[in-house]
């Protein structure tokens, strides 16, 4: 069943990140956000669409609301990937997260799939071949997750704050979510870290990024600083 819509920051991201979906004939649409004006890249997009039978779309067109949207993971390094992640997260569709950098939980493709993916990347995206010639991760692995780092951390914080749903922290993409959650549990047991002290931070939903680099006490310092700044601005 073709019910998957891939948001691709650049042509080739869709095939690097979601090869198994194409192989299973599950992709109905791919929306491209950058690098599609060049005639070479446009030709590569058409070739990919012809081979795999999907409808190519370009930024500005309406995204179908009845499919599963595949979004680049927030931990991908390229800033375009982070922008598209934010766009995808705002959609009403069911969501899953793929990776191009393969720096999150991933699977090793079977050898025959590795060979086929490598061959299809070379056949379709010849202009980008230096990427996978230089680094085999682009065809050896794949990631398909039901959540990304920000969603994981936000959910854990909200579980700890059932009566304060308007206050939560989004972790930086640099943090390993499971490790941070484990360390954060210890921090939240600290009697001095009382959320009652911080509920004045927001009169409406407040989101911010805290780059703790696996040092959760920085979360407390950051909230303290935001609280002080918020109260000073109110006065």
Tens-digit pLDDT profile for residues 134-155? 999 999 999 998 887 665 555 5
Task: Indicate whether 102 and 171 sit together in one domain.
Answer: no
Separation of CA 67 from chain center: 17
How many structural domains is the chain composed of? 2
Which H/E stretch holds residue 141?
Answer: strand 141-142
Long-range contacts of 161-164 (CB under 8 A, 24+ apart): 161/195, 164/195, 164/199
Task: Indicate whether 79 and 189 sit together in one domain.
Answer: no
- What percentage of the chain has pLDDT greater than the value 90? 50
Task: Indicate whether 85 and 31 sit together in one domain.
Answer: yes
Q: Is there a contact between 185 and 193 (Cβ–Cβ < 8 Å)?
A: no
Task: Indicate whether 160 and 134 sit together in one domain.
Answer: no
Which one is predicted more confidently, 57 or 226? 57
Q: Is there a contact between 57 and 63 (Cβ–Cβ < 8 Å)?
A: yes
How far is 90 from 211, CA to CA, in rounded Å? Answer: 22
Per the structure, the complete domain to which residue 98 belongs is given by 4-145
Task: Indicate whether 66 and 109 sit together in one domain.
Answer: yes
Of 128, 145, 162, the last residue of a domain is 145
pLDDT of 202 strictly over 50: no
In tens, the pLDDT along 57-112 reads: 998 899 998 999 999 998 898 989 989 998 998 899 999 999 999 988 889 999 99
Task: Indicate whether 21 and 136 sit together in one domain.
Answer: yes
In tens, the pLDDT along 3-35 reads: 999 999 999 999 999 999 999 999 999 999 999
Of 89, 116, 145, the last residue of a domain is 145
Task: Indicate whether 8 and 92 sit together in one domain.
Answer: yes
Of 101, 125, 145, the last residue of a domain is 145
How far is 17 from 182, CA to CA, in rounded Å? Answer: 29
Task: Indicate whether 90 and 202 sit together in one domain.
Answer: no
């Amino acid at each position: 069943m073709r019910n998957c819509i891939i948001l691709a920051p650049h042509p080739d991201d869709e095939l690097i990140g979601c090869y198994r979906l194409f192989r299973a004939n599950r992709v109905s649409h791919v929306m491209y956000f950058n690098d599609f004006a060049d005639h070479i890249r446009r030709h590569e997009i058409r070739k990919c669409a012809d081979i795999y039978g999907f409808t190519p779309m370009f930024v500005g067109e309406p995204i179908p609301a009845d499919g599963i949207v595949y979004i680049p993971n927030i931990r991908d390094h390229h800033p375009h990937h982070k922008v598209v992640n934010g766009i995808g997260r705002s959609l009403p569709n069911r969501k899953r997260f793929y990776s191009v950098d393969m720096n999150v939980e991933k699977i090793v493709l079977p050898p025959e799939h590795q060979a086929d993916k490598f061959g299809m990347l070379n056949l379709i995206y010849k202009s980008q071949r230096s990427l996978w010639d230089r680094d085999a991760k682009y065809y050896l692995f794949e990631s398909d997750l039901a959540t990304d780092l920000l969603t994981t951390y936000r959910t854990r914080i909200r579980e700890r704050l059932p009566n304060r749903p308007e206050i939560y922290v989004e972790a930086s993409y640099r943090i390993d979510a499971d490790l941070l959650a484990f360390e954060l549990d210890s921090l939240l047991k600290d009697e001095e870290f009382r959320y009652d002290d911080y509920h004045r931070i927001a009169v409406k939903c407040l989101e911010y990024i805290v780059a703790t680099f696996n040092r959760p006490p920085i979360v407390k310092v950051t909230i303290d600083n935001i609280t002080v700044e918020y109260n000073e601005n109110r006065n």
